[in-house]
Chain A
Amino acid sequence: MEKVKEALVKLLDKYSVPYTKEDLESELPLQCWRMNRKFVELKKLVTTRIVEDPCLLRFCHLTDEKTALADLLYREFDLCEYVMDDSIAALNAAFTDGRSGSVVVTMKSGVIGSVEVGNQLSSANPEVDRHEIIARRGVASDIVVDTQIPQHSIYLYTDDGVQQFKDTDHELYGLDEKEIEWVRAHFEFLKDKSTAAAHQAQHLHLNKLVEMAFESDKEHKKMAL
């Protein structure tokens, strides 16, 4: 945590953004993944109508057991809403042992989406996620056609095995993708604190959706907001 705070302070100072000690300690839920450029670009493809009239989302996120299923659902539900600029109106979930499963969501606009989640990936492997938007005109995705896993920028093959690297931010070089998301999210927030209420409201809304998903799984019932 200290590393990311240090990076945040450096960025705030560089761009002359005012902040207090309390700002750095704030635990406001900021939905940090929205700062990942891949989601910014996917959203842009939708909002600028490069892909026109989306109909179906295919989202997936698989991790090791250190990430709770609820956290995966929280993130992916938020991404459905953020990328589409829409909100989830109903869902039907099917999980097994609280470790893996899927949710079919219906957005207010009528767009439907599958959210595959699981935390049974070996901890020796990197996370796998995929976000695909299928529209009447075009498909957008954060993985390359004809592949199943996210790519990296560098592959180093030596006798020690394969090492993979994905560095995405020169200003924050040395931080991993999630740390960069955290720093960028807090930086953006401190530039414009007026978004605090929206973040808090979204947090409550997402918690409700996650709760509904587990309820849906338990009751074998589609749940609507």
Chain B
Amino acid sequence: MKPVKIAILSLTHGHTRKYFQTLHDNPALDWVAVSAETEEVRDVFYHYGYNTIPCYMSDDEMFDAHPEIEAVVIASANSRHLEQVKNCAKRGIHILSMKIPTFDMNEYAEMMEVVEKSFIVFQIELEMHYNPVVDRMKKLFADKALGKVTSFNATNITLSPVWAFPWQGVPELSYGKRVPLREGDHRFCGGALCDHPHIFDMIRWLTGSDYEYIYAQVGPNIRADIEEEDVILVNGKMKNGVSFLLDPSWSRLEERLKVPAPGWEIFPKRMEVNFNISGEKGVMLVDSFGPNVYHNGAPNDRYTVQYTYFDEWIGLIDEFVDCIRNHKTPMINLAWHKRTIEAVNACYESVRKGQPVYF
């Protein structure tokens, strides 16, 4: 199969660095170039050692220099996605989008339209679908190991990335606009909730059902100096009667590093996606990122989880290449993902109203 000629745009998203090794190693890809939004971002990219990959300071400059580019990973702030999608669609370039295409449903509709008209592949990066523990969980669900599922409780809790990826701390860049969380609250939409759509997607995928209603409540921030929510709890019910509790908080404290590095975490485990699922036959406890290796060494002599089994980006990219070369529709496409984005927006609506929101 002819390798897909691929590039990365912007380099400002927190997941950007996860792609470097896969793009470099996978023979189904030919990594052509990257574009960087700032010189600082470019310098960080070169710090990772991929000095043979040309780095341009604008998307258009890169596309003009490399008309052979067939596909891109859009690794930018959420607020830039529509403009970049339109540019790629115009050029017939396939897109691997970060987990939030946009929170603005008018923009979302526009994206769907341009993607449909240009016949490009548009895959959304929900990497949990390529996690081996989730593979097992999907099989156990398919085998009905728990019988009828009754409740689905999940965490997607992490440290806050806002110090290393500042756009995530700016409501206009993360949520797309400056919207107060609720009357009398000094904070704005765009924080932890916007960073953690995975569990909102996974419950739909695993239960095969849709949201009936959703309730969300924000707490006082752990980080008093950021202007978005960092702890938030969500519960509600699916249409098939499954009750759920979702925790998408930034509830693990971090050192305020500008570039992620060892010692970033203060709490030993910087990221957790766990599930407690009950059904008529029993209970399933799942840790998608465990077990691991542990240490209390440099740089901070704190007990630390050293992530050990972590290869989601390989399967994600394999699917993207397969869709491009074999004209398939990705598992997580714009049409499927729309409800997940609507669920996140419903959480903000619930916070604003102080009551559950029905779909």
Binding site for B on A (CB under 8 A): 14-16, 37-38, 41-42, 44-45, 49-52, 135, 137-145, 150-159, 165-171, 173
Whether B284 contacts A154 by the Cβ 8 Å rule is yes
Chain B residue with the shortest CB-CB distance to A49: B298
Whether A144 contacts B291 by the Cβ 8 Å rule is yes
When distances are taken between beta carbons in the complex, the residues of chain A under 8 Å from B281 are: 158-159
Whether, in the assembled complex, B107 has its beta carbon less than 8 Å from a beta carbon of chain A, the answer is no
Pick the contact of A166 from B291, B298, B306 — CB < 8 Å? B291
Once A and B bind, how many residue pairs between them come within 8 Å at the CB atom? 125
When distances are taken between beta carbons in the complex, the residues of chain A under 8 Å from B315 are: 170-171
Whether A138 contacts B297 by the Cβ 8 Å rule is yes
Pick the contact of A158 from B282, B298, B311 — CB < 8 Å? B282
Give CA–CA (A41, B135) in the complex, Å.
23
CB neighbors of A among B268-284 (8 A)? 281-284
Whether B133 contacts A139 by the Cβ 8 Å rule is no
8 additional contacts (CB under 8 A) given A52-B298, A138-B295, A170-B315? A44-B306, A50-B295, A137-B301, A139-B295, A139-B296, A140-B295, A150-B291, A156-B282
Whether A170 contacts B314 by the Cβ 8 Å rule is yes
Q: Could you list some 30 contacts between A and B, CB below 8 A?
A: A15-B27, A38-B292, A41-B306, A50-B298, A51-B295, A52-B297, A137-B301, A138-B297, A138-B301, A139-B295, A139-B297, A141-B293, A141-B295, A143-B294, A151-B290, A151-B291, A154-B136, A155-B284, A156-B145, A156-B282, A158-B145, A165-B133, A167-B132, A167-B135, A168-B309, A169-B309, A170-B311, A171-B311, A171-B314, A173-B135
When distances are taken between beta carbons in the complex, the residues of chain B under 8 Å from A154 are: 133, 136-137, 140, 284-287
Chain A residue with the shortest CB-CB distance to B299: A50
When distances are taken between beta carbons in the complex, the residues of chain A under 8 Å from B292 are: 38, 41
Give CA–CA (A171, B313) in the complex, Å.
11
Give CA–CA (A44, B287) in the complex, Å.
23
Give CA–CA (A41, B290) in the complex, Å.
14
When distances are taken between beta carbons in the complex, the residues of chain A under 8 Å from B284 are: 154-157
When distances are taken between beta carbons in the complex, the residues of chain A under 8 Å from B78 are: none
Whether B293 contacts A42 by the Cβ 8 Å rule is yes
Chain B residue with the shortest CB-CB distance to A165: B136
Binding site for A on B (CB under 8 A): 26-28, 130-133, 135-137, 140, 145-146, 262, 281-288, 290-298, 301, 303, 306, 308-309, 311-312, 314-315
When distances are taken between beta carbons in the complex, the residues of chain A under 8 Å from B309 are: 37, 168-169
Known: A155-B285, A156-B145. A38 touches B301 (CB 8 A): no
Give CA–CA (A42, B291) in the complex, Å.
13
Whether B27 contacts A16 by the Cβ 8 Å rule is yes
Whether B295 contacts A45 by the Cβ 8 Å rule is yes
Known: A52-B297, A154-B286. A170 touches B136 (CB 8 A): no
Whether A157 contacts B283 by the Cβ 8 Å rule is yes
Known: A45-B297, A152-B291. A168 touches B282 (CB 8 A): no
Give CA–CA (A143, B306) in the complex, Å.
11
When distances are taken between beta carbons in the complex, the residues of chain B under 8 Å from A143 are: 291, 294
The 4 closest A-B pairs by CB, nearest first: A138-B297, A158-B282, A167-B132, A151-B291
Give CA–CA (A214, B294) in the complex, Å.
33
Give CA–CA (A162, B303) in the complex, Å.
29
Whether B311 contacts A140 by the Cβ 8 Å rule is no
When distances are taken between beta carbons in the complex, the residues of chain A under 8 Å from B140 are: 154, 156
What is the distance, in angstroms, from B180's C-beta to the closest C-beta of chain A?
A: 40
What is the distance, in angstroms, from B294's C-beta to the closest C-beta of chain A?
A: 5
Whether A135 contacts B293 by the Cβ 8 Å rule is no
Whether B297 contacts A153 by the Cβ 8 Å rule is no
Whether A153 contacts B295 by the Cβ 8 Å rule is no
Chain A residue with the shortest CB-CB distance to B130: A170
Known: A145-B303, A154-B137. A38 touches B308 (CB 8 A): yes
When distances are taken between beta carbons in the complex, the residues of chain A under 8 Å from B297 are: 45, 49-52, 135, 137-140
When distances are taken between beta carbons in the complex, the residues of chain B under 8 Å from A141 are: 293-295
Give CA–CA (A213, B308) in the complex, Å.
32
When distances are taken between beta carbons in the complex, the residues of chain A under 8 Å from B136 are: 153-154, 165, 167, 173
What is the distance, in angstroms, from A140's C-beta to the closest C-beta of chain B?
A: 4
Chain A residue with the shortest CB-CB distance to B291: A151
Whether A137 contacts B298 by the Cβ 8 Å rule is yes
When distances are taken between beta carbons in the complex, the residues of chain B under 8 Å from A139 are: 295-297
Chain A residue with the shortest CB-CB distance to B309: A168
What is the distance, in angstroms, from A70's C-beta to the closest C-beta of chain B?
A: 27
What is the distance, in angstroms, from A37's C-beta to the closest C-beta of chain B?
A: 5
When distances are taken between beta carbons in the complex, the residues of chain B under 8 Å from A167 are: 132-133, 135-136
When distances are taken between beta carbons in the complex, the residues of chain A under 8 Å from B145 are: 156, 158
Give CA–CA (A156, B285) in the complex, Å.
7
Whether B294 contacts A157 by the Cβ 8 Å rule is no
Give CA–CA (A12, B294) in the complex, Å.
32
Whether A173 contacts B306 by the Cβ 8 Å rule is no
When distances are taken between beta carbons in the complex, the residues of chain A under 8 Å from B282 are: 156-159
When distances are taken between beta carbons in the complex, the residues of chain A under 8 Å from B288 are: 153
When distances are taken between beta carbons in the complex, the residues of chain A under 8 Å from B262 are: 50
Give CA–CA (A151, B309) in the complex, Å.
13
Whether A169 contacts B27 by the Cβ 8 Å rule is no
What is the distance, in angstroms, from B146's C-beta to the closest C-beta of chain A?
A: 7
When distances are taken between beta carbons in the complex, the residues of chain A under 8 Å from B285 are: 154-155, 157
Give CA–CA (A164, B292) in the complex, Å.
16
